[in-house]
Amino acid sequence: MNASQIIVSGYTREPYGGGPGVGRFSLEPDGTVGRQLAVGGAVNPSFIAPGGGALLAVEELPQGRIAALDPETLELRGRVASGGADPCHLALIGPDVWAANYSSGTASVTPLAAVLGSTTPEPPELLSHPGTGPVADRQGGSHAHQVTATPWGTVLVSDLGADRVDEYSAASRVRLGSAELPPGTGPRHVAIAGEFLLVAGELDGHLHVLRRADVDPGGADPHDGAGRFWKWLLRVPLSAGADGGTAGSAPSHIQLSGDGTRLYAAVRGADTVVVLDVSGLDAGRPPAVLRRVPCGGRWPRHFALGNNRLYVANQRSNTVAVFALDGDGLPGAEPVQTVGFGSPTCIVLA
């Protein structure tokens, strides 16, 4: 992707931060960050995404909100309730904005037209599948963390609190099934690689690999309404200490390369970015680490790929680190640029 601008969101309220909200910057021909073009006043925007001619943002608050900003000026164009507490992710899927309400453990569905203010706001449709997990201080209830559209017309909702990725019909909102993860995984973000589902475990520090498979003739239930279900295959550590453990590591965002052969992962705690070879999944080869580098700051919450660069949002160091990628898509050992931004949470290239 060749982008000419970078948009960064960040927390505006303590205890998470005190940044400006959303900023838009130019990108220089060499991919480094240039001058600030606009700043917007969204409140605690923990995730942003383009859609419907606007920049959409979730405002992570006890009474969560979805905001629509002008993509150029970043001025507010519309705002509606997310239907839950502390929304942390959203995506435009068809005509609707789907959001993940973390503390409420629900996904919400709101027509884009309502978010933009062109129709009368109505309460969002809420999707709930309560559950718990074994990590007492993090899994006392469901915690929806991401909403992801699939190529086959469904939406995946990561539930950190219940060790599941629930799958819903995008059209009917019916829950078709769930991808079950090992207890204590804490699924946060996912990536779809053909028939494979790659899941970042925030609580166990691993990357999990699942595959869509035919229903077992012995009686396994179909998970997608079409005679298919998710089969858990394996996991690999995304960070390893001297003893090979992953204690203190909290993976955040994962993303595939454009050709689908590499997976990039940010790991908080360890404060690293990891690149894995995932080209051999069809042949049964597990993901293998190609490179692991320091993230250029503290607590890498999100990143974006483009312009042969990797842009990392380091939340606790209040910086965006820019890494050059080599011909194999691997980042250098040190950032080529570090830019100050208050409590960055998400990066979008445009």
Domains of the chain (ranges plus CATH)? 88-340 (2.130.10.10)
Cα radius of gyration (the chain): 19
Ranges under pLDDT 70 in the chain: 215-227, 241-245
Residues in the chain: 350
- Cα 293-20-309 angle, rounded to 5 deg: 30
pLDDT at 122: 85
- pTM, whole model, 2 decimals? 0.95
Instruction: Dump pLDDT digits (tens) for 64-120.
Output: 999 999 999 999 999 999 999 999 999 999 999 999 999 999 999 999 999 999 888
What count of other Cβ atoms lies within 10 Å of the Cβ of residue 334? 12
pLDDT at 225: 47
Q: Amino acid identity of 297?
A: G
pLDDT at 247: 78
| Burial category of 95 from C-beta neighbours within 10 Å (exposed 0-12, middle 13-18, buried 19 and up) | exposed
Nearest CA to 295 among 334, 259, 260?
334
Joined tokens for residue 68: 């629509």
pLDDT at 18: 87
For residues 227 and 179, give the distance between their C-alpha atoms in angstroms, rounded to a whole number.
14
pLDDT at 242: 47
What phi and psi, each to the nearest 5 degrees, are found at residue 104? -80, -20
DSSP bridge pairs for 149: 155
Mapping DSSP onto H, E and C, the string for the chain reads CCCCEEEEEECCCCCCCCCCCEEEEEECCCCCEEEEEEEECCCCEEEEEEECCEEEEEECCCCCEEEEECCCCCCEEEEEECCCCCEEEEEEECCEEEEEECCCCEEEEEEHHHHCCCCCCCCCEEEECCCCCCCCCCCCCCCEEEEEECCCCEEEEEECCCCEEEEEECCCCCEEEEEECCCCCCEEEEEEECCEEEEEECCCCEEEEEEEEECCCCCCCCCCCCCEEEEEEEEEECCCCCCCCCCCCEEEEEEECCCCCEEEEEEECCCEEEEEECCCCCCCCCCEEEEEEECCCCCEEEEEEECCEEEEEEHHHCEEEEEEECCCCCECCCCCEEEECCCEEEEEEC
What count of other Cβ atoms lies within 10 Å of the Cβ of residue 5? 17
Q: In what order do the strands lie in the sheet with 76-81?
A: 45-51, 54-59, 65-69, 76-81
Nearest CA to 1 among 50, 47, 39, 38?
50
Task: Tell me the longest C-alpha to C-alpha distance in the chain.
Answer: 61
| Burial category of 3 from C-beta neighbours within 10 Å (exposed 0-12, middle 13-18, buried 19 and up) | middle
pLDDT at 215: 65
Please report where in the chains the tokens 């303590």 appear, as a residue. Answer: 14
For residues 33 and 321, give the distance between their C-alpha atoms in angstroms, rounded to a whole number.
10
